[in-house]
Structure 1
Amino acid sequence: MNNRQARIFAIASTALSALIFLVLTLDSHRQFPTLTNADTITPEVTLGKDVWHKYNCINCHTLFGEGAYYAPDLTKITQHRGEAYLQAYMRDPSQFYDEQKHRRLMPKQDLSEAEISNLIKFLDWVSKVDNQGWPPRPILVTGSFNLPTKTSTAVTSLTTETSKLDPIAQGEIVFRSATPACNACHSTAPGADMAGPTLAGIASRAKQLVGSPQYTGAAKDIEGYIRESIMTPSAHIVPGAMYSAAGTSFMPIGYEQSLTSAQIDHLVAYLATFK
């Protein structure tokens, strides 16, 4: 190849690359309104975005994998934590951890109630953006990783593929694959409280609780208490624990819609083994 041919090749390659880049860019912009659910951007969502920038949240946190990487990625935070939890956490983060023990440095920002509400709406909008699997392994607040599950269909598929397993084994799959995943908030190791209490010993605690006068729920046995905790978590509030506010449990609701009755049965069977 002589110099003239090399120049032609370089110019043609550059022009072709630029054309491909331009086409891909235009196609991306064509899809943005659908991928981002632009029609759901309300004034509250926009105000919440302003709160995000006002308090420089991105200086520590990330969205869609972009940010400071000092604190967890919050892309799917509203799917991992309920609104009641997020409201209480933003009011006073120090109530949720021991700074000396956990070495977390989330500052109290003194946000107004309106700012908290709008910020949650913004983060909820973010969580529903079709980010096409990016980041590929979203970091949970607990520091662990969770399998991406767009809908309960993924859970159904996993359970179907393991239909030869016993209910307890299937329950463990649901524990890790539900939306939101149970292991996003709960540990099964003794003493390892996270956003929710550890589930180690839950069967023994349930047995003692349902027979005590302090119990305010309707369950009569261990399995009933675990099922109640999943389906109607505010039926009984543990006094003094930072897992509720104003009589409302931080436990997300709606599992009866995202899980089948069989999957809930399997999850109950799995959790009942933690004595």
Structure 2
Amino acid sequence: MSLRRTAGGTARVARSLTAAALGVACLALTGCAPDPDAAPVERPPYAMARADLGMQADSTTFADFPTAPTDPDPAAANGGVLLRVLSDVGVHQSPDGPVFAKLPAKQLNNPTWVPVIAERGGWAQVLLPSRPNGATGWVQVNGQVERARTPYAVDVEVDARKLMVRRNGAVIGEWVVGVGASDSPTPRGRTYIMAAIEETVTKFSPIILPLGTHSNTFSTYGGGPGTVALHGWPDPSVFGQASSDGCVRVPDDALRLLATLPLGTLVHLW
């Protein structure tokens, strides 16, 4: 299937998070249509019993898996291939290797979409939302996941303080943005839009887009897990400056476009 925003919008708001968990409401941004180029979904037997999978820790933005495989090529594109997790799926060290975590079907009350960075037979290597930054794992492409493709990608040139949104490789929007200060830099590497939160407690951004990466300076932001995000800012003087705690601050029109991108969209922080 492919992902797109449909006319009239496809947002669904679920008011259930606390401010300490990065916000108080989630905006689930999805839109799906059949992808004639998508590979057939293979349905091999589950690698382990569901009871055994229940013993594994959830791979979420709150988790840390120090022994997870690291991203082998943080600068690479991925062709827009994504997986939607329909039910808890085991995360393996390698194809047919040991399970070290499970991906739940929800992240911050948003559906779990993760970018695929490699494929091998009936297996896909995906970026994880957990620490350490660049953590990956292998999942079986079976009935627990759904394969999709998006034409979008986001590039953030941290040193140049510039963000670009691409569709099929072509730039469709470019802005000067704010990035992390020298003592709290924006982390580099390949990540993705993990969730979308409608902020109703603070007023600095109407929508916050948490990424699957974390501050290397702070272990927490206000009680949350130190998740780096794309978000707006009321004072435009921050754009072009390195003054944040690690997040990327974007102008209002950039945020409006970013908020329409499918969850799982790849984000490069150069």
TM-score by length of 1: 0.26
| More strand per residue | 2
Higher relative contact order (CA 8 A, sep 6+): 2
Pick the structure with greater CA Rg.
1
| More helix per residue | 1
